[in-house]
Amino acid sequence: MAYTTVTLANMIEEARSRVNNQKFYSDDELTAYINESLCMWQLMTGYWRSTVTLATEGAKIYYDVSSHMLKPLRVEYDGTPLPKDNFFSMDWCKGLWEFAPAATPDRWFPVALNYLGLYPAPGAGHSLRIDGLSHAPVMNAPTDFVDINRWIFDALVDYVQHVCAFKTSGEEFKATSRLYKSFVDAAATQNVKLKNTSIYRKTIGENLDGLYHPTNRSGQKRTR
């Protein structure tokens, strides 16, 4: 399905049409829930991407990209892609690697969610192009927009309706659990890796089978 521009006003209108007591929710409240749905969608799918170009600093190993993106995925040094390594490997295989003299980096490694390192540390004035997951968009004005297709739009509003029902609680909130499941299912369709996580299995109830029929070490289910 083709992508289209969806404004905050569009999403508020759709969310308001789904709740039982429309006057029970202000536009500011719905805006907060909509932005929450965008954050959840980004965390589950990595839907929005961004690129930033930074200049290296002399003998600097670590670079904080938190103001530019949520998580770095790929790094180029002066136009050359760097292979990805990990912090444990650096400590395990290269003693005193942090004290290596400045040189052309031959790898990069994540240090934290939005913090990365280069080895060896480069000199100053070189170019770092970093591709990664951007922060989720935040919409505040009615004309603010995101480019998504219809099924993602529906999934986001499903999440908003579910969160709205928490305010009323009781059976109404319980009845919207299927909407949260629909949201997670849509996220898993967008990002296949999500299906292997505990949050997905918990949401769709797969963990219950493991609870009622635990497996032994051979992988066979135990029976009573």
pLDDT tens digits for 140-161? 999 999 999 999 999 999 999 9
Own/partner contacts of 30-33, CB < 8 Å, gap of 24 or more, are 30/160, 30/164, 31/139, 31/140, 33/159, 33/160, 33/163, 33/164
**If DSSP codes are grouped into helix, strand and coil, which group holds residue 134?**
coil
Report the CATH number at residue 112: 2.40.30
Residue 61 located in a structural domain = yes
**pLDDT digits 0-9 by tens, 72-87:** 999 999 999 999 999 8
Are residue 103 and residue 168 in the same domain, yes or no? no
Confidence check: pLDDT of 52 > 90: yes
Distance CA 152, CA 123 (A): 44
Does 165 share its domain with 205?
A: yes
- Report yes or no on 41 lying in a domain: yes
**Looking at 133, 162, 191, which one is the last position of a domain?**
133
Q: Where are the beta strands (DSSP E) in 90-190?
A: 107-112, 115-119, 127-133, 145-148
Query: 110 with 40, same domain?
Result: no
Listed in sequence order, the residues at least 6 apart from 73 whose beta carbon sits closer than 8 Å to its beta carbon are: 131, 132, 133
Rounded to an integer, what distance in angstroms lies between the CA atom of residue 65 and that of residue 114? 6
Count of other CB atoms within 10 angstroms of residue 207: 13
> Per the structure, how many domains does the chain have?
2
Instruction: Using alpha carbons, select from 183, 125, 185 the residue that is nearest to residue 158.
Output: 183
The answer to whether residue 94 is domain-embedded is yes
Whether 56 and 167 map to the same domain: the answer is: no
Q: What is the mean pLDDT of residues 40-58?
A: 94
Q: Do the domain assignments include residue 138? A: no
Quick one: tokens of 1? 């399905």
pLDDT at 199: 65
Q: Is residue 58 part of a domain?
A: yes
Pair (12, 54) in one structural domain:
no
pTM: 0.80
Which pLDDT value is given to residue 205? 62
Domain that holds residue 159: 4-45+145-212
Whether 74 and 116 map to the same domain: the answer is yes
